[in-house]
Amino acid sequence: MKEVQGLYKRLAVIVAVLVLAVGYGGGSASAQMLMNGAGATFPYPIYSKWFDEYTRVDPSVRFNYQSIGSGAGIEQTRKRTVDFGASDAPLSDQQLADMGRPILLIPTVAGSIAISYNVPGVGGGLRLTPENIADIYLGTLTKWNDPRLKANNPTLNLPDSAIVVVHRSDGSGTTFHFTSFLSLVSPEWAKKVGHNTSVSWPAGIGGKGNEGVAGVVKQTPGAVGYVELAYVIQNKLTYAEVKNRDGQWIAPSLPATTAAAAGGAAQMAKTHDVRVSISYAPGQNTYPIAGFTYLLIPKDQDNVEKGKALVKFLWWAIHDGERFAPDLLYASLPSQVVKINEELIKSITYQGTPLLASK
């Protein structure tokens, strides 16, 4: 009996300790600052890594980022329902004016958009010209054994089966970059469809987010889709080599993305405008379907403490955070772009007072 009573006493002590621990943990959690963001799926792998790593730098801050597409990220920023937005598409002058307040575009990394495919009996090695990609998405090239495809793939056993075109169903910066590329290589595409975060697709089925398109391609025999490279690698999808502007067959890769980003950086430094396109950029080693991605930051912050925390994070991201980009197949920012970003971050204020401590 005494042993049982002693056991009850020990259990009571353990329960009391657990209650105290939970209470302490709850108090700690409630003291943390939550930063809410939403937008592009294209950079989600690197942003997730940054938000996780940054908790070691500043444990008082947590990030809640909803990967819902660039179009939704722009809209949530306009409605002021998030602390920051994210978009792969650089906002136009009109979009910036519609925000109703100054919004800064902070380029974070550059990434490539792979043309992923799932063709039974065909492994890697598929080659696609820009013109053929445009015709596939226009719905005028519909069979895998079409002579136009066989001409560039004489050693592949391309089947007599339908091409299932997969595109984004949501507003997307990935779509903006992809359709910008198509508009540059196909006059017919430029005239009939054009480029934007959302377009009226001539053919195909939709998937939500980069992860959605990757999932549809992986599950659908005969499918082809455009997906940010990190998602393709994570899902172990095959992807095509694409002929670039200089006539070279190039697979999406970190060096090929870096080559594209370098050209964009030079343009940013010249114009001091971060809104540049690196689609179908010149250069023998340049992958032709690539783009920068941006954080959308209110220049004048509504909350001084959140503002200070945000600028501190941004400074860390464009310096220390960039080292995580290559492992996730993103190109780190060239030094010219980092310098531009530094000036942008220094311009963020609360009631007219800069929030970043002197650097």
Alpha carbon 117 to its chain centroid, in Å, reads 20
- Is residue 282 situated within a structural domain? no
pLDDT band for position 173 (50/70/90)?
Answer: confident
pLDDT of residue 263: 87
pLDDT band for position 359 (50/70/90)?
Answer: low
CA distance 346 to 354: 7
pLDDT of residue 25: 37
Does residue 218 sit in the same domain as residue 343? Answer: no
For residues 56-67, average pLDDT = 96
pLDDT at 46 over 70: yes
Domain count across the chain: 3
- Is residue 205 situated within a structural domain? yes
Does residue 35 sit in the same domain as residue 177? Answer: no
pLDDT of residue 22: 35
State which residues form the domain around 146. Answer: 112-263
- Is residue 317 situated within a structural domain? yes
Q: In the structure encoding, which two tokens stand for residue 34, read together?
A: 């939550």
Of 123-127, 134-138, 235-239, 354-358, give the lowest mean pLDDT range: 354-358
Number of other CB atoms surrounding residue 218 within 10 Å: 17
Average pLDDT over all residues of the chain? 90
- Is residue 214 situated within a structural domain? yes
CA distance 187 to 291: 21
Q: In the structure encoding, which two tokens stand for residue 14, read together?
A: 């353990």
Full DSSP string of 41-93: STTHHHHHHHHHHHHHH-TTEEEEEEE--HHHHHHHHHHT-SSEEEESSPPPH
Does residue 119 sit in the same domain as residue 96? Answer: no
Does residue 197 sit in the same domain as residue 84? Answer: no
Which of 291, 297, 294 lies closest to 331, judged by CA?
Answer: 291
For residues 319-334, average pLDDT = 95
pLDDT in tens, 343-353: 999 999 999 99
Does residue 124 sit in the same domain as residue 202? Answer: yes
Q: In the structure encoding, which two tokens stand for residue 316, read together?
A: 């860390």
- Is residue 57 situated within a structural domain? yes
CA distance 177 to 257: 13
Does residue 117 sit in the same domain as residue 210? Answer: yes
pLDDT in tens, 252-293: 999 999 999 998 898 898 888 999 989 999 999 999 999 999
- Is residue 64 situated within a structural domain? yes
- Is residue 322 situated within a structural domain? yes
pLDDT of residue 171: 85
Does residue 174 sit in the same domain as residue 224? Answer: yes
pLDDT of residue 6: 46
**Type of residue at 286:** T
| N-to-C CA span, the chain | 69
CA distance 339 to 140: 45
Q: Are 257 and 111 in contact (CB under 8 A)?
A: yes
Does residue 156 sit in the same domain as residue 180? Answer: yes
CA distance 16 to 43: 44
Does residue 98 sit in the same domain as residue 176? Answer: no
Does residue 40 sit in the same domain as residue 151? Answer: no
